[in-house]
């Protein structure tokens, strides 16, 4: 009888753990009522964490039709508020007349103003006419108005702004295997001097993001991995990182901190909120659950990010990815 009770207890415990894991796994993607991608996570003075995301549109047509940006926020990493749309292509005076191509954004706060950065082409030949637009607001989630675009930036994508402890803002963007960066002037809309290529980044693809930890600068990004390489690694883009003593490098590549998701792409941000570090990224799990799986119907996710004692980043454990890479 005792053995039966022990066995039953172990079975009950196992079922409890199973359901707990299943429940935790369902938390990602954390936005489920629409498709979202390219999460830029920021913590503002009101104590909330905000995520600025691009928007995949169904039925999917690659990433050409991405035409809107949305903002979500939370106070506890559990309950999320949808602040709605903050910008679309038709509101960009210098933008491509056909619209679309509103790709990965970023947002920073300086001197009482929120600066929202977004890539968008200015001409029909979209891949040759990229500009990094700038919209500003006094609110983190509404009333953004396009002020122009970053002067001195190149025809690249994925803008990211890092503001160091001394208040100096650094501008990063990239794509096609190159990442370039430089200082921003105080007006936050002009490059101060010339952009420099970031050296030491192994297999850089796109999606640069810089954060600071224990006095070191960390540049994270997505690599070029493709499952068709048949190198024994299932899935496509992985997330890598490099470390430097300066926000301008040179950088020392440290390896992979996130394996492929079930989306062809990945794009991430890293942020500290209420004493804990988090990695934001996207996958295509929601489209899988909705019965319309597609690489270009993505959804934003988050998981804990932890460091080893030597400052290296532990491999992030993705939750909610029930199907694994394709």
Cα torsion 154, 160, 165, 166 to 10°: value is 30
| 3-state DSSP assignment of residue 157 | strand
- At a CB cut-off of 8 Å and minimum separation 6, what does 140 contact? 42, 44, 46, 50, 71, 73, 107, 109, 114
Catalytic residue among 38, 67, 259, 285: 38
Q: Are 222 and 257 in contact (CB under 8 A)?
A: no
Tell me whether residue 203 is one of the annotated catalytic residues.
no
Render 82-115 in DSSP notation, one character per residue.
EEEEEEEGGG-TTS-TT-------EEEEETTEEE
Q: What CA–CA distance (Å, rounded) separates 188 from 191?
A: 8
Catalytic residue among 56, 206, 223, 236: 206
Tell me whether residue 199 is one of the annotated catalytic residues.
no
| 3-state DSSP assignment of residue 288 | helix
Tokens encoding 128:
């040759």
User: Which residues are part of the catalytic machinery?
Assistant: 38, 206
């Amino acid at each position: 009888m005792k053995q039966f009770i022990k066995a039953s207890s172990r079975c009950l415990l196992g079922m409890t753990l199973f359901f707990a894991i299943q429940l935790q796994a369902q938390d990602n993607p954390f936005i489920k009522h629409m498709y979202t991608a390219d999460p830029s996570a920021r913590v503002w003075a009101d104590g909330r964490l905000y995520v600025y995301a691009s928007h995949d549109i169904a039925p999917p047509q690659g990433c050409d039709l991405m035409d809107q940006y949305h903002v979500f926020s939370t106070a506890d990493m559990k309950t999320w508020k949808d602040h709605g749309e903050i910008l679309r292509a038709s509101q960009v005076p210098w933008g491509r007349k056909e619209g679309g191509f509103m790709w990965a954004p970023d947002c920073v706060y300086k001197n009482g103003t929120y600066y929202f950065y977004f890539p968008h082409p200015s001409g029909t030949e979209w891949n040759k006419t990229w500009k990094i637009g700038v919209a500003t607001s006094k609110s983190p989630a509404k009333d953004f108005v396009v002020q122009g675009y970053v002067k001195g930036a190149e025809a690249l994508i994925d803008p990211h702004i890092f503001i160091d402890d001394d208040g100096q803002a650094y501008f990063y963007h990239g794509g096609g295997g190159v990442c370039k960066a430089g200082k921003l002037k105080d007006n936050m809309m002009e490059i101060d001097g010339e952009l420099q290529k970031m050296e030491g980044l192994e297999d850089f693809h796109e999606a640069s993001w810089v954060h600071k930890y224990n006095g070191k600068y960390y540049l994270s990004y997505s690599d070029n991995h493709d499952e068709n390489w048949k190198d024994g690694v299932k899935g496509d883009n992985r997330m890598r990182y490099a470390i430097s003593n300066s926000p301008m490098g040179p950088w020392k590549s440290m390896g992979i901190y996130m394996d492929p998701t079930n989306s062809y792409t990945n794009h991430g941000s890293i942020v500290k909120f209420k004493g804990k570090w988090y990695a934001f990224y996207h996958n295509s799990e929601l489209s899988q659950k909705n019965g319309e799986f597609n690489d270009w119907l993505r959804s934003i996710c988050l998981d804990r990010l932890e460091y080893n004692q030597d400052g290296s980043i532990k491999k992030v454990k993705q939750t909610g990815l029930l199907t694994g890479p394709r």
